[in-house]
Amino acid sequence: MTTTDWVALVFLLAALVASVTVAALRALRAWRTFRSFSRTTGAALDDVMRTAASAEEHAVSLTAGAERLATATEHLQGSLAQLALLRAAAGEARATLARLRGVVPGK
């Protein structure tokens, strides 16, 4: 083999080694980036799931609160109806008493 052949062979081997090294380094960087992305994504998904669970708990408590509010409103409406009835009865008693006072002579 001539000197030119040896120079070409050395250049080919150097280029091959450099190409494999660059490819391996880029593959390693890509793998590290993927692992980092995977960890970050997993943590973000955990946060989303935790937030969703918290939102569900709040929704359930709001539903329970709405049911209690509806029950309390019904009770209040009943109490107001009873109050109106008692006021009407008291008004009738006052009217009757006023009529009786009008009939009875004063001093």
For the chain, counts of helices (H) and of strands (E) = 1, 0
What's the pLDDT at 107? 67
Question: What is the residue whose two structure tokens read 């692992």?
Answer: 35
Examine the pLDDT at 3 and tell me if it is beyond 80. Answer: yes
Segment 11-46, tens digit of pLDDT: 999 999 999 999 999 999 999 999 999 999 999 999
What does the buried/exposed string (b/e) look like for 59-88 if buried means 16 or more CB atoms within 10 Å of the residue's CB?
A: eeeeeeeeeeeeeeeeeeeeeeeeeeeeee
Residues 6+ apart with CB under 8 A from 9: 1
Tokens of 73: 């409103």
What's the pLDDT at 56? 92
Least confident range from 57-66, 67-76, 78-87: namely 57-66
What's the pLDDT at 1? 81
SS3 for 23-55 is HHHHHHHHHHHHHHHHHHHHHHHHHHHHHHHHH
Mean pLDDT of the chain: 93
Cα separation of 97 and 99, whole Å?
A: 5
Q: Which pTM does this prediction carry?
A: 0.47
